[in-house]
Amino acid sequence: MRIAIVLNTSWNIYNFRMNFIDSLRAQGHEVHTVAPVDDFTHFLTEAGCVHHPVRMARLDKTVESLSLANIDFIKIDVEGFEPEVLLGGETVIEKFHPWLYVEITPAWLQGRGHSMEQFIGKLLAWNYELLGEVDKEFIPYLKNEQLFRSLHQFNLLAKPLTFGE
């Protein structure tokens, strides 16, 4: 059987799915990985996977190419690549000031060489109110920062204090 493992990074596949892939290959399955090429792609092919690269595009370029007149809400769940999404969407965020809903795993941010302080600082500089989700309720992030730092993973809602065009 041919099985495709599709994730947002080869790093993610390698670090979180290799035991599964090894098990599938041991059972005789042909495993295909689908993700952007990164420093971990060669580990997947060396393990016997057939890799299919996908192209990522910056949010700014995508919005421009689609001629979108406005963006009101952006959901971000990219396993530690949140700062890269913000960087690739700076024009969209500054112009439209959309609500942002971000799944954050601090250890993954740190593993990619980023810090929570940098990430939060960028959102505050863009004039967002930050709310963290706890037990399906949103509470002020800054007043409860220690609580959120103790969590393995949480959702952050960035509510614009000013609105774009």
Question: How large is the average pLDDT for residues 105-129?
Answer: 92
pTM of the model: 0.73
Structure token pair of residue 149: 């730092």
Question: Average pLDDT for residues 48-60, to the nearest whole number?
Answer: 91
Q: Where are the domains of the chain?
A: 2-53, 59-160
Beta strands in the chain (DSSP E): 2-6, 30-35, 50-53, 73-76, 99-104, 128-134, 137-140, 154-160
Share the mean pLDDT of the chain.
92
Of the CA atoms within 13 Å of residue 35, those in its CB half-sphere come to 26
Containing H/E element for 123? helix 116-125
Per-residue confidence (pLDDT) for residue 112, from 0 to 100: 87
Q: Which amino acid is at 20?
A: F
d(C-alpha 27, C-alpha 141), whole Å? 47
Fold type of domain 59-160: 3.30.950
Q: What is the pLDDT of residues 121-147, one digit of tens each?
A: 999 999 999 999 999 999 999 999 999
What sign results for the dihedral spanned by CA atoms 140, 143, 146, 147? negative
Q: Give φ, ψ of 65 to 5 degrees.
A: -65, -25
